[in-house]
Structure 1
Amino acid sequence: MFTVPASGCSAALAHLNTSDISEDGKSLVNPVSKTRSQAYEHFVEPIDNGRRGGFDVHIYYLQTSPSETKFAAELHERIRREFPELRIYKLFDRPIGPHPLAMFEVNVFSPAQFGAFIPWLVINRGPLSALIHPNTGDDVRDHTQRATWMGQALPLQVGVLRGLVEENGNGNGS
């Protein structure tokens, strides 16, 4: 079910003494590489590098809370202006699909966009929770085992998600 982490590494790893300490006295010495990882330029397989986008970011707000609703609307607008290259969907004013609260979704298409947007969101999301998940074609696994949360994790309606997957005949749901 899981890929062996060392399967993509070179034979040079076998000769690396993993206990060598850097000059700071704390961190380990890493092997020297002539090339950067391709993960800086493209999402790793099986993450979608195409039109769908590599990652979805669902930003949740409590629709019965005027202050959270206002904050979500302001954050939504700020993201649209600060990150116009990202795809952003409308504010949903109630739970939809497997999502337990009102939310909006942002799609990220490259590691560079991910690296810029996610740290920005860490600082600017305020009281809102966010679900970050890859798009690999396995929607149930992407929304559960492969998901990362900012703020409080919310219980997704995984049964609803499984039903959508069965209904659509594939894993490309929400």
Structure 2
Amino acid sequence: MEITSYHAHLYYDESTYAKALLVIEKAKALDFIQVGRAHQKEVGPHPRWSCQFLFAADKLNEMIPWLLENRDGLTVFTHANTGNDYLDHTQNTLWMGEILELKLDIFK
């Protein structure tokens, strides 16, 4: 299994959207990640509104402490990107905060 990169998904809802935007703005200042769109709807397998942070495999050791310090109590789902979406969303994962049930049917 070769990990090519990682996605960290910051989860929020209508009541925590403003808090999430502050975390997202801080993330944009990092030079080693790409920040996706702050969705105000559920996207893909994600059970809440989310924003994706994409970073290289060799940046995991920098990103995890940053997320721990900056997530402001929000749930973060991080997964490897290996080319196997199902395994990447079920076994190659890290959670901070709540562990939520993903909509895995899209991978079947």
TM-score category, normalised to shorter length: over 0.9
The equivalent residue for 1:155 is: 101
Q: CA deviation at 1:88?
A: 1.0
The equivalent residue for 2:31 is: 84
Q: CA deviation at 1:108?
A: 1.2
Residue 104 of structure 2 is aligned to residue 104 of structure 1:
no
Percentage of identical aligned residues? 30
Q: CA deviation at 1:105?
A: 0.4
Corresponding residue pairs, total: 108
Q: Within 2, Cα distance between the matches of 1:72 and 1:131? A: 14
Q: Secondary structure at the match of 1:133?
A: strand
Q: CA deviation at 1:138?
A: 0.6
- 1:97-143 residue CA offsets vs partner (Å, 9 max, x unmatched): 110100000111142x2211210111110121111111111100100
Q: Within 2, Cα distance between the matches of 1:116 and 1:157? A: 29
Which has more radius of gyration? 1
Structure 2: tracts of 5 or more residues without a match: none
The equivalent residue for 1:130 is: 76
Q: Within 2, Cα distance between the matches of 1:143 and 1:161? A: 9
Q: Secondary structure at the match of 2:91?
A: coil
Distance 1:120 1:139, change over 3 A: same
Checking the alignment, whether the CA contact within 8 Å between 2:3 and 2:57 is kept in structure 1 is no
Structure 1: tracts of 5 or more residues without a match: 1-44, 49-53, 163-174
Q: Within 1, Cα distance between the matches of 2:39 and 2:107? A: 17
The equivalent residue for 1:60 is: 11
Q: CA deviation at 1:160?
A: 2.1
- 1:31-74 residue CA offsets vs partner (Å, 9 max, x unmatched): xxxxxxxxxxxxxx4111xxxxx111111002x21xx1001001
| Greater RCO structure (CA 8 Å; 6+ sep) | 2
TM superposition score normalised by structure 2: 0.93
Q: Root-mean-square deviation (CA), in Å?
A: 1.2
4+ residue segments displaced more than 3 Å: none
